[in-house]
Amino acid sequence: MKFAWIDLRTVPDEQRESIVDAAIHAGVEAIVDDSPQTLRTLPPTVLKVLAGPHDDVADLGDYVLLEEVGDERGITEVLSRPRPQGQTGGAVVNVTDDPSLTLACQSASRLPYTVVQFKDPTKIPLEIVIAAADKAPGTLICRAEELEEARIIIDVLEKGSEGVLLAPRDANDVFRLVAAMRATTSPLTLQKLHVTAIEHSGLGDRVCVDTCTHFEKDEGILVGSYSHGFILCSSETHPLPYMPTRPFRVNAGALHSYVVGQDNRTNYLSELKAGSTVLAVGADGRTRRVVVGRIKLESRPLLTIRAGAEDGAEVTLIVQDDWHVRVLGPGGTVLNVTELKPGDELLGYIATDQRHVGWPVGEFCVEK
């Protein structure tokens, strides 16, 4: 779980109280300040981080002392210094060149807490530090200058249990940062659908969705003609006899079809474009957000798949009428659409709401 550290050192006096209240309410991991007096007021649910040595640390309780280090000797001093009860050592490393990047890697590998600050906007050095600290027990935090940079850092930290340090402009920045940290995609409950009919439907326009992500072998995207029902369409991760695999692509369906995205939102396939997002969905219901690199719309013969759920819900999917187009069945079984027959089992998702411009609405609507 990624976490947020809030830096109060540059926050104007008139904003400090509201930002501290927001940080406590939002459940941030830590608050950083150079004033022990402010840190004393924090509840035990928030980690106290004191920036730089200070004489007045009596009754501060458990806290982290952050000290700026400029060489390997500084790291050794942080490690070896005798500490009063409740104090834990940590370091701030300013990364400006290759030697300081090496120092950041050493600190992240050896110290309980390391805050890194980068001079240049590239995030390659951060990736290097993350790799260096991957097996280390310490905690790595990267400083962001503003909220948009924090969001970029969060994506860099996708595979790590790491944090972001931000000096917010106001209380709203605190809530936005925490929301970005907690942005996840919830799993979906997939159902078995039984094919009821297969129909050759003639020429129409179908859409291939090319993403910026490799799909796993049991992943695809949920597509359907109706807003309440979707079939799990397979990616082209699996080998085909007449063409190379394209593990980023899903031959999804006719351009009118709905596709499931993040936050219970749907889009028409015709609406997708480079930079759009959809949900990659696994056969076990796990989900993740993926970015669309492009969509490819072409006229092809179409095939209509009709299926039913156990509760009687009807699901329809119109796809390209070709053997290499595939959907997924229970357990991630790969099924060629032209070989489907009534009674075959597919994986699908039944939504509980109708849709208006992609958002769920509780209104009467009939689709057929």
Nearest Cα neighbor of 194 from 229, 151, 225 is 229
pLDDT-derived band at 361, boundaries 50, 70, 90: very low
pLDDT above 80 for 353 = no
User: Which residues have a Cβ under 8 Å from the Cβ of 211 and sit 6 or more positions away?
Assistant: 248, 249, 250, 278, 280, 290, 291, 292, 293
**pLDDT (mean) for 44-49:** 94
Placement of tokens 């299926």 in the chain: 307
**Mean pLDDT score of the chain:** 89
Taking alpha carbons only, the member of 209, 212, 205 closest to residue 220 is 209
Distance of CA 125 to the CA centre of its chain: 21
- At 92-129, the pLDDT tens digits run 999 999 999 999 999 999 999 999 999 888 778 888 88
pLDDT number for residue 76: 95
d(CA 1, CA 158): 9
pLDDT at 158: 59
Would you say the pTM of this structure is higher than 0.75? no
Whole-number Å distance between alpha carbons of 224 and 321: 16
- Min mean pLDDT across 56-60, 67-71, 219-223 is at 56-60
**pLDDT range class, residue 356, cuts 50, 70, 90:** very low
**Tens-place pLDDT, residues 184-209:** 678 999 999 999 999 999 999 999 99
Q: What is the pLDDT of residue 68?
A: 95
Give the pLDDT band (50/70/90) at residue 360: very low
